[in-house]
Copies of this chain bind each other. A is one copy, B any other.
Amino acid sequence: MARELAGIDTSGLEFFYNPRSIAIVGASKNPDKPGGRPLAALQNRGYAGKIFPINPRHRELAGLACHPTILDVPDDVDMAIISVAAEAVPEVVGQCARKGVKAVVIFSGGFSEVGPEGERLQQELREIARQGHMRLLGPNSLGLINFANSVTASFAHVVNLEPASPRTVGFVTQSGAFGGLVYFEATQAGVGFSSFTSVGNEADTEFADVVAHLLDDPETALIGGYLEGAKDGEKLRQAAEKALRVEKPILIIKVGRTPAGARAASSHTASLAGDDQVYDAFFRQMAIVRVETIAELTSFAILHRSGRKFRGTRVAIISGSGGHGVLMADKCESLGLRVPEITGATREKLSGYLPSFGSGRNPVDLTAQGGRDSSMLGNCVRAVAGDENIDIVMAHAVFPDHYGIARAKELIEIYHSTRKPIVIMTHAHHASEMTTKCIGMLEDAGVPSLQDGLQAAQAVAKLAWYHERVQRIGSGRPAPEPEQAPARDELARLLRGSDPLSEFECKRILEHCGIPVTREELASSADEAARLARELGYPVALKVQSGQILHKSDAGGVALDLGSEADLRRAYDEILGNAQGAAPDAEIQGVLVQEMAKGGVEVILGSMKDPVFGPVVMFGLGGIFVEALEDVSFRIAPLSRSDAEDMIEEIKGHRVLRGIRGREPADLDAIANALLSVSRLVTEHRDAIEELDINPFMVFARGAKAVDALIKTRPAQRLGEENP
């Protein structure tokens, strides 16, 4: 059966974030209990809507009327929070449905996370919610907080924490506890969240749904997420595409690498794809910023909220310590930024400001003199910010008591005199009162400052990467052109060839997709082979064709570089004999007579099915490279042309394609075209195709040819087709 492409469904999610009334089922007066914490927080934080505590043991809670069940509430309820034992949850959710509740948050654990029994219970909730047209968050969720309107529908400790400002981060997490830690550390770092959502077991509302919903929230300038694994790659892709359109970055801490060996592998492509590599490729493809630590997330948020575009990679570093400057420069360059020599007029200006032994190069070293001379730092920042060969300025500033305020004012003035990103690095843990005050001034004036220089370098690199990616991808990704119906039908027919498909059949499929293949014909006798070889021209290759012999060489079913008819006839009998010896029951379709493709660069194109993202396209250098180095790149299908180009660019051995040892560069367009054709094929026929390997794909200075190919089709699909 064809997999339904599940679309993002954000309908009704607004009732989580903007409910006019909230019921708490299992409410408690103890603010340390899950049923008590949101009640207390909603009241303390001044939630403006109505609050209905539900608990049969009380008639009043925290000054509010308490009802035995939600059905007893005399008013409409938009959102219900459920904090009761797992076995009682289905009944309560049923009551919510009858009450016409729009959104249900389930704190309770004891569902899919505990095993099959819990999974069944969870399935029940999903069904009740679906029929009642309600959205569920959880179960096993810490709940959510919308800071703009004090919807504190969470029992996380963090509801008691005063959020930092400005509140730009919409945070979504698959781990409640870790999400709480992120929120805590972000607050400490001065990064404010617009909302916090723990998706729990994702019975209904998934990570991607929340992301897509929050992208519409005007308060939310960027999305932060903690992800163990997407339930549905296609939905995550749709959310990411929306993020590109609205130009809001998504930052994800992604954990949970699966050992590569876990997946049964029957071809190169499959064995080379590790889950984590596929996520990595997906993130690059969609300009999702992958972060490893909470500090990376918060530093990015601080630079991002400045609103400036980090375009370009040329960084000027200004530091009061030579050592620190060099360390920063090393870090920047190792992250893909450039720290170019400062030249010309700017260099001259700098040497006017700096002591004779200071360095006017880059990093700019103010020397110890920079601490004594109140004007040096400002002058240097102004000079490099004005240099058109510099894209980004990173300046280390101290704020001595006798001129700290003046310096802060000057930096603010310089910052607002340019549109270039400027990042101030402070060692605020050194903090005197003056330093703290000056950092506050910078913050209030919108000038981004970070304590740690290396952290700042990383954030700058990630912002520069993000903006470069967004620009490269363009606003929105062009939809790939769909195949024409007749072509699709013909391909579907070809895909129902022998089971499995022989090389010859696979090549016909490729040819049909516009992928160039070697000239070749199928022979059923030595005489016919000899005739075909004469037509193709010697030397030729012979290959036994059988769906049952996938590894032809191993079975002795291949003879290469046959230069004469005598050689060919001898080889014909030999390889047929070998093949029959190796696989006596194999059905032999014939012997393929093939031109010898020589002198190009061998690459591999492939595709495999990822359980999360569906068809994934692979590219790698062939032969020894792929075997010794696993030097391959991936993208999720469908590919855009720039995806294909990125894949080619990304492999370590890309220089081989550019032409080494005096060879002409390989035809990169031919590779990109073939990758796009593979992408179209595996996308349109995602149900039929399990794996695809074109190995080798021989690339010449002009053009390219598939020399061997293997397509594994899906048994179920074949069955379905055969017995409609």
Contacts and interface: CB of A to CB of B under 8 A. Distances in A.
Contacts of A331: 292
A624 B327 contact: no
State the oligomeric state as a number of copies: 2
Interface in A18-56: none
Nearest to A114: B357
Contact of A368 (B177, B188, B226, B654): B177
A356 B114 contact: yes
A185 interface: yes
A661 B624 CA distance: 8
A660 B109 CA distance: 50
Interface string A631-656: 00000000000000000000011111
Contacts of A652: 628-629, 652
Interface stretch (A67-75, A233-241, A253-261, A414-422): A253-261
Given A324-B181, A427-B181, A429-B188, A661 B255 contact: no
Given A330-B257, A660-B627, A175 B323 contact: yes
A228 interface: yes
A622 to B, nearest CB: 12
B429 A323 contact: no
Contacts of A433: none
Contact of A322 (B175, B184, B257, B655): B175
A227 to B, nearest CB: 10
Given A181-B427, A257-B333, A322-B177, A661 B627 contact: yes
A181 B184 CA distance: 27
Interface string A221-253: 000001010000000000000000000000001
A226 B323 contact: yes
A567 to B, nearest CB: 19
A321 interface: yes
A333 B660 CA distance: 36
Most buried by B among A113, A173, A179, A330: A330
A320 interface: yes
Interface residues of A, number: 52
B653 A113 contact: no
Interface string A303-331: 00000000000000000111110110111
A521 B627 CA distance: 38
Given A228-B326, A653-B628, A109 B357 contact: yes
B655 A323 contact: no
A113 B660 CA distance: 43
14 contacts: A175-B321, A175-B323, A177-B322, A177-B323, A177-B368, A178-B327, A181-B324, A181-B427, A255-B326, A257-B330, A292-B331, A627-B656, A628-B656, A629-B629
Given A177-B322, A624-B653, A624-B661, 19 more contacts: A115-B357, A173-B323, A175-B324, A177-B321, A177-B323, A177-B324, A178-B323, A178-B324, A184-B430, A253-B327, A255-B326, A292-B331, A624-B660, A627-B655, A627-B656, A627-B660, A628-B653, A629-B629, A629-B655
